[in-house]
A and B are shown apart, each in its own frame.
Chain A
Amino acid sequence: MANQVGNYSLFIALIASIFLIFQSYRLTRNSSKNLDSKIFSVLSVQSLMVLISFISLVFAFIVSDFSNKTVYNNSHTTKPLFYKISGTWGNHEGSLLLWLLVLTFFLFIFLINSKNLPKKYRLLTLTFQEVIIFGFLLFILFTSNPFINLFPIPKEGTGLNPILQDPALALHPPILYIGYVGTSIIFSASLAALVCGNVNKVWASHIKKWIIISWIFLTIGIMLGSIWAYYELGWGGFWFWDPVENVSLMPWFCLTALLHTIVVLEKRNTFKSWTIILSITTFSLSMSGTFLVRSGILNSIHTFANDPSRGVFILCFLFFLIFLAIIIFFIYQKNISNSSIRTYLISKETAMLVNNWFMMFFLSVVLIGTVYPILLEVINGSKISIGPPFYQKLILPFLIPFLLFMAIGPNLKWVKDHINKIKLEQPIFLFISILISYLFTTSYGVSYLFSVPMFGLGFFLFFLTIRDFFSGKSTLSQKIAHFGFSLFILSILFNGVLAKEYSSNMKVGDERKFMNKIIKFENLKITQELNYQSLTGEFNISDDRGNLNLKPEIRIYNQPKTLTSEADIISTIYSDNFLVFNVLKDDGYYNVRYQHKPLMIWIWLSVILIFVGGILGYFKKK
C-alpha cells in the first residue's frame, strides 16, 4: 500500500512541477501585481505530495514492510526503532527523497518570506527552483525509485550497514542536505535577481539570510560527520582528507567566501558579478558533491557500492544547470552596474577580497586533490591516491598570512583606512604571540617547518579577537565566529603536535609500557544484545598521575554479519584518551590502539562557537 501511495504522490509532484515551470515563466510577462493564487495552491499540492511520499517511506521502514525493495535492502526487524527511522535516509534512494523534501519545503518558505520583493524576481526564482525539483524527481523516479515492489515478499530484510547505526550519523545526512539544498535557493535567487536586474543592497540583505542558514547547516553537518569518523572509524583523527570529506568541504569554502562578499554587497553595493559567480559555483559544488559520492567514482575508503548509471544522470543534469547558469550570466551581465564610488587599497573591501582569495585558494587545492586522481584514471588508467601530506603542505604555509589578515581585517573601515592608524598594541600582541610560540616549540622540541610563525599567528588572532570583544567595530556574530576560528586553529595545531599514539597486539592479561604509562588488558566480557554480540575489553592505563579504565567494544552484528569496533574515549578539557581494539583472528590476539590527544574537545567546541556566531548573525536586527 505505502509503496503505491509514495510512488503516485511522486508522479503527481512531477506533473505539478511541469505546470509550475511553465506557469511561473508565463506569468513573469504578465504585469499584475500579485502572485497568481493558482501557483500557491499547486506548489502546496506539490510539497504535500512529496511529504506524503516521504512519510510513506518512513512508515514502510517503521513497520518493516519488506515488499518495498529499499526497506528490504536496508532494514531488519531486530533493529531499534530509532535506526529504522534513520535508515530511511541512510541509503541512496531515501536520501534523495529527503533532498527533494527539503528542496520543495525551502521553496515554499522562500515564497512566503519574499513578499516585499518584486513579483518577477519571485516568479523567476520559482521557475529555476522548479527546474531543479523536476530534475530530481526524474532522477528519483527513473534511476533510484525508493518504492519498487518485491514479490514474493521476503520474510526478513538484509539490514543496515552497522557502522551507520549511530546517532551522529543518523543526523548527519539530513543536516548536511539542508545546507546543500539551501545553496540551491541561493543559486536560483541569484539567477533570478540577475535577470531582473535587482542585484542590489535590498536583495543582498534578503539572500544573506539564506546564505547564513545554509552555512550554519553545512558547518554542523560537516562537524557531525567528523565527530562520527573520530569515534566510530577508530582512526582517532577528525579529518582524513578523504575524497568524500573533501567533497563536503568544497561548498563550505565557497559559501564562506559568499558569506563575506554578501556583506560587501549589502553595505557598499559592489562586487555584484562576483557574488553571482560565487552563488553559481557554490551550488555546482554541492551538486557535484552528491554526484561524486553517489556515483561511486571516488576512490575512497568511505564509498559504498553504487550504480554508475545514476552518476551519469546527475552529471548530465549538473552540466545542464551549469551551462544554463553560464548562458544566463553572459546574457544578463549588462544588468549589473557596480556603484562607482572609489574604494581605496586599505579598506574593509580589500580585506574581504583577501578572504575570498584565500577561500578560493583552499578550494582549488582541495578540488584538484580530489579530482586529479579521477582525471588521471580516465586519461591513462593509472590509479593513484593523494594523501594528507599534499593538503598539509599546500594549506599550512598559507594559513600564516591568512591568520594575519583575519586578525587585522575586521577592524578596517569601509572605503578608506590608514596604515599609520594601527595602534601600538597590535605589534606588541604580535611580538608576545611569537615569543610564546617560540618558547613553546623549543621547550617541546617541535621541529616542524613554519611551526613558530604558525603558532605565533594562531595566538595573535586569538589575542586580537579577544581584544575585539571590548573595542572592536564589527558585529558580535563576526567576533564570536572569528574567535571560534582562532580557537579552532590553535587546538588543531596543539593536537597535531602533541598527540601520542601506541599500537600493539595483545592477549588478555598482557601488559605494555608506553612513554610513562602502563597499558594493561585486564579482562574480556562477552554479552548478547538485541541485534549484536558484544565483546567488551577492560583496559587499565596507569601513570604517576593516576588510573584510567577504558572499555572499548567490538560488536558482531548479525544482520548483515559485520564487525564494528566502538572506541572508548575519556574526554576532559585538557585531553582525550582514546582506546580501540580489534579482532584479528581466533588466536587470542587483539589489535590495540591507544591515543592521547590533547585539546581534542576544543576542536568541536570551537566549531560550535563558529556556528553560534552564524546563528547570531541570522537573528541580528537591522
Chain B
Amino acid sequence: MYGKKVKLRALFILLIFLSVVLTSFLIFKSLEENVVYFKSPTEVKNLAELENKKIRVGGMVKKNSIKTNDLEISFIITDFQNELIVSFKGSVPNLFEEGKGVVAEGFLEDRNYLKATKILAKHDENYMPPEVEEALKENN
C-alpha cells in the first residue's frame, strides 16, 4: 500500500520515539533514586520522620565547635536558630573554617546528629548559604 520510502521513514520516526521514551524512563527512574535533599538545621528539626537516605545539611560552622582527634572531626552546623552536630571521618576542603559556610552530606542518626560522608565548602570566601542569610536578616 505504502511505498518503501514512507515505510522506512515511519520506522525511523518510531525508532526515535521509542528511544526518547526509553531514555526519559531511565533518566527519571534513576533521578528518583539518586536525589539528595538539601536542608537547613531548622528543617531537619522539623522533619516528620527520619529516612535512611543521604541528605545534605547546610549552614555555618559554629564558632569554637570544631573538635579533632586522630580519626574524626566533629563540629556544629548552625543556621542561628537550630543546631546540628556533625561527625566526619575523612578530608575537609580548603575553606572549611569556623564561622564560614559549609555543606555536610551524610546520614541522619537522629534530629541532632549527622554522620557525614562528605564535607563541601564554597569557593567564595564571602559565600553564605541563602537560608542562613535569611535567618541572619530575621534575627537582626
A residues engaging B (CB < 8 A)? 161, 163, 233-235, 299, 301-305, 357, 361, 364-365, 368-369, 372, 382-387, 389-390, 393-394, 503-506, 510, 560-565, 580, 582, 584-585, 587, 589, 591-593
Contact = CB atoms under 8 A, between A and B. Distances in A.
B31 A390 contact: yes
Interface in B68-85: 68-73
A389 B34 contact: yes
Contact of B70 (A383, A504, A580): A504
Interface string B86-127: 000111111111100001000000000000000011111111
Contacts of B123: 161, 163, 301-304
A582 B56 contact: no
Contact of A364 (B27, B71, B95): B27
A234 B92 CA distance: 9
A45 B139 CA distance: 55
A235 B31 CA distance: 25
Contacts of A368: 27, 31
B31 A372 contact: yes
B124 A563 contact: no
Contact of B91 (A369, A385, A582, A589): A582
Contacts of A587: 68
A98 to B, nearest CB: 20
A105 B71 CA distance: 56
B35 interface: yes
A384 B91 CA distance: 23
A234 B124 contact: no
Chain B: interface secondary structure? loop
Chain A: interface secondary structure? mixed
9 nearest A-B pairs in the assembled complex, by CB-CB distance: A593-B91, A383-B38, A390-B34, A589-B68, A503-B91, A304-B124, A384-B35, A503-B90, A385-B36
Given A365-B27, A390-B31, A584-B73, A305 B124 contact: yes
A563 B91 contact: no
B10 to A, nearest CB: 15
Given A234-B91, A305-B127, 7 more contacts: A304-B123, A390-B30, A563-B95, A580-B91, A582-B94, A591-B73, A593-B91
Contacts of B37: 382-384
Nearest to B91: A593
Interface footprint category on B: 35 or more
Contact of B30 (A302, A357, A394, A563): A394
Given A161-B123, A301-B123, A563 B38 contact: no
Contact of B122 (A235, A303, A560): A303
Nearest to A368: B27
A385 B89 contact: no
Nearest to B72: A505
Contacts of B56: 385
Pick the most buried of B27, B69, B73, B126: most chain A CB atoms within 10 A of its CB.
B27
A309 B93 CA distance: 31
Contacts of B30: 390, 393-394
A298 B63 CA distance: 28
A506 B120 CA distance: 21
A161 B36 CA distance: 29
Nearest to A582: B92
B30 to A, nearest CB: 5
A510 B19 CA distance: 57
Contacts of B71: 504-505
A386 B91 contact: no
A7 B59 CA distance: 41
A560 B95 CA distance: 13
A592 B91 contact: yes
Contacts of A564: 94
Contacts of A361: 19, 23
Contact of B94 (A163, A390, A394, A503): A163
Contacts of A302: 123
A254 to B, nearest CB: 16
B6 to A, nearest CB: 14
21 contacts: A161-B125, A233-B94, A234-B94, A301-B120, A301-B122, A303-B123, A305-B124, A361-B19, A364-B23, A372-B31, A384-B35, A390-B30, A393-B30, A394-B26, A505-B68, A505-B73, A506-B70, A510-B70, A563-B94, A563-B95, A585-B68
